[in-house]
Amino acid sequence: MGRPVGSVNRDKPFNDVLRIALKARPHSLRRIADKLIDKGEEGDLPSIRELVDRLDGKATQAIECADVPIERLTDEQLLAIAAGGVPDNDMMPKALPPPRKFSRG
């Protein structure tokens, strides 16, 4: 289970150690970036994705929920949507079918 929505992870020990190591070896980061670019030029898809994500930001995921009124969503579903995810299909309420027409007779 992950952190609660809205909590801030202030402790980033790996980030701190990595910054210290890079200060001791300032050219390492440039060489790593060059290797990533080289692999991207060779057609390595994960490298290309990493470059695009770093430059343009990760693509947002569209959430299609037009047929369900927001009032019918639970707090859990709304939190999942607000956090940028898509609730499981099993969590989503199903759209109601149109009312049946009754014939008299």
> Could you write out the three-class secondary structure of the chain?
CCCCCCCCCCCCHHHHHHHHHHHHCCCHHHHHHHHHHHHHHCCCHHHHHHHHHHHHCCCCCCCCCCCCCHHHCCHHHHHHHHCCCCCCCCCCCCCCCCCCCCCCC
Structure tokens at 24: 């001791």
Same domain, 20 and 54: yes
Higher pLDDT, 4 or 50: 50
Higher pLDDT, 104 or 27: 27
User: 31-72, pLDDT tens digit by residue?
Assistant: 999 999 999 999 999 999 999 999 988 877 766 655 677 788
CA separation for the pair 2, 80 (Å, rounded) = 12
Domain that residue 43 falls in: 15-59
Q: Is residue 44 part of a domain?
A: yes
Question: Does residue 18 surpass a pLDDT of 70?
Answer: yes
Total of domains in the chain: 2
Question: Does residue 25 surpass a pLDDT of 80?
Answer: yes
Highest mean pLDDT among 6-10, 33-37, 97-101: 33-37
